[in-house]
Structure 1
Amino acid sequence: MSTDKVRSTKLKFKGEKTKKKRTREDDDEGAGSSRRRRRENDEEASETWVLPESAVEIRGPTFMVHPSDPSPITITYDSTRGRIVVQSLDKDKSEDSEHPSLLERVPTEVSQVWVTTRVAGSPTINLRTGTGEGKFLSCDKHGLVSADREARGPQEEWTPVVFPDGMVAFQNVYEKYLSVDETAGGQLALRGDSEEVGFRERFWVKIQSKYKREAHEEEKKRTEGMVDASKIDETSANKIYQAWGAGRTVVSVDDKKELKKARKEGRLAEALLDRRSKLKSDRFC
């Protein structure tokens, strides 16, 4: 009897893939499609327009709506004429067409979007046009609002104030508020000289969800950093409370034992203060 292994009689052509390979490749292709769909969904969710819950969340692309009657209005920038335009959100819709609710409104034109940047170490923000050369929203001491400056200074700084109902007011450097005002010709325009916040000074503001998450992550890191900094470091604490001249630390063997015991008992800060008072008393006696 021949000892050769029995080979399959099924014909195979050069380059033909086995069934197992096809299955694995199909699985890989399916996994790739799933990852691609998941990535597309994440990107779509990141660009969803949401309401900020606090002032620090207002950043990135920003959409501002005022609940005027009969049609809500938004602040836009006409890059051709280089001026701010207060525009009705229903200007291109017929009376019979159905309008979305106020909080469902999203920008439909690039000119309706402003780019918010935050001033480092400050609660103030800058609002820059999303079209044209990027001009900053500013207000002078007379309350005249414009967007014709490429550089930012004190007049281009705004402090957002978020109210419990979610609406936002913008305060300028002169401690006056941005408002929608009706001019002599019946047209609407922006002013920056209101001393109190009323209906004309309140806006609905929308940002993209990824920037809201970014603000939360920054706040979380900042909070974690504060917690880490609050942990007691005996060496550092000794230098703070017991250093005399050029950072020289004075700790005897008995003091080390006492401080170690105090730390275990949770009264280290009290012990360090007592130690400092004692050293001062010994020094000036």
Structure 2
Amino acid sequence: MANKIRSTKLKFKGEKAKKKRKHDDIDDGTGSRARRKRKDENEDAPETWVLPEQATEIRGPTFIFHPSDPAPICVHFDATRNRIMLDALAKDEEDSIPLLERVPTEVSQVWVVTRVAGSPTINLRTGVGEGKFLSCDKHGIVSADREARGPQEEWTPVVFDDGMVAFQNVYEKYLSIDEVAGGQVQLRGDADNAGFNERFYVKIQSRYKREAHEEEKQKKEGLTAPSMDEAGTNKIYQAWGAGRSIVSDKDQKELKKARKEGRLAETLLDRRAKLKSDRFC
């Protein structure tokens, strides 16, 4: 019988044996687990480009591209010619990269999205040059030559179930890809419906997506209405002496009405002053 090989690792009395952990990066021959692990790690990085799941997440540096045929195109700004360009994304070595994994390779391909707090509309500003806003006039002509923002520089993003996004302007028309003479394409803003040419893929940085989730969470917590406890409220605003409280059906209705109208604190103080006055008269 062969002798058992004993471990030479030192062990101390009372030391618990450590359990062996399986490595997540060991795959089944297809590399799927390793790719999944790398993908999860990348999405946690603040600068990682991800797809938004809802309109409120579209903010900060933004990459906009369209799955055109035969090659996908992206919306970028040429600061030299001071105009919006639609150029093909597929470039030699990039042909093998899946469409939804594409990221901007130049600063000119990045737009900076800002929004007023609580507003459903956004503004898209160029990431290069002097920072001009994307705008659309009533004729559907799209440009980026204005340094100030107004109604024509406002866009309402609409996120669809397939992850694509449409941009609606102040005239309730959609931003779209339009083919012109010579096979060239340009942006227009006069489409009535959001079809294939009006839907874009949008990528944002993951830290802004998390920021949007935090804001939404705080907003929901702030909107939680406090419970209406007249007895407890009276002890705070109306009680005196030994903590005597005044409660009645008529006052209860009055307090409910005041709360709906947003003047609960004022009403409680008025009632307290009136009750004190009646007491000492």
- TM-score of the superposition, structure 2-length normalised? 0.68
* Consecutive unaligned residues in structure 1, runs of 5 or more: 1-40, 239-248, 260-269, 278-285
Which secondary structure does the structure 1 equivalent of 2:108 belong to? helix
* Distance 1:123-1:60 versus aligned 2 partners, 3 A rule: same
* Distance 1:79-1:230 versus aligned 2 partners, 3 A rule: same
How far did residue 215 of structure 1 move? 0.4
What is aligned with 2:228?
232
How far did residue 165 of structure 1 move? 1.2
Percent identical: 67
* Distance 1:117-1:254 versus aligned 2 partners, 3 A rule: closer
User: How many residues are aligned here?
Assistant: 212
By percentage of residues, which structure has more helix?
1
Which secondary structure does the structure 1 equivalent of 2:220 belong to? helix
How far did residue 99 of structure 1 move? 2.2
How far did residue 65 of structure 1 move? 1.0
* Consecutive unaligned residues in structure 2, runs of 5 or more: 1-40, 239-243, 258-281
Query: Does 2:253 align with 1:273?
Result: yes
What is aligned with 1:74?
74
How far did residue 42 of structure 1 move? 9.1
Task: Calculate the aligned-residue CA RMSD, in Å.
Answer: 3.1
Instruction: Return the alpha-carbon distance in structure 2 between the equivalents of residues 152 and 236 of structure 1.
Output: 49
Instruction: Return the alpha-carbon distance in structure 2 between the equivalents of residues 115 and 274 of structure 1.
Output: 50
Query: Does 2:106 align with 1:126?
Result: no
Following TM superposition, where does structure 1 have runs of at least 4 consecutive aligned residues deviating by more than 6 angstroms?
41-44, 235-238, 274-277
Which secondary structure does the structure 2 equivalent of 1:160 belong to? strand
What amino acid is the match of 1:230? P
Instruction: Return the alpha-carbon distance in structure 2 between the equivalents of residues 230 and 254 of structure 1.
Output: 20
What amino acid is the match of 1:101? P
What is aligned with 2:138?
141
Superposition pairs of residues 119-268 of structure 1, within 5 angstroms: 119-227=116-224, 229-232=225-228, 234=230, 255-256=246-247
What is aligned with 1:93?
92
Which secondary structure does the structure 2 equivalent of 1:216 belong to? helix
Which secondary structure does the structure 2 equivalent of 1:46 belong to? coil
What is aligned with 1:281?
none
* Distance 1:254-1:124 versus aligned 2 partners, 3 A rule: closer
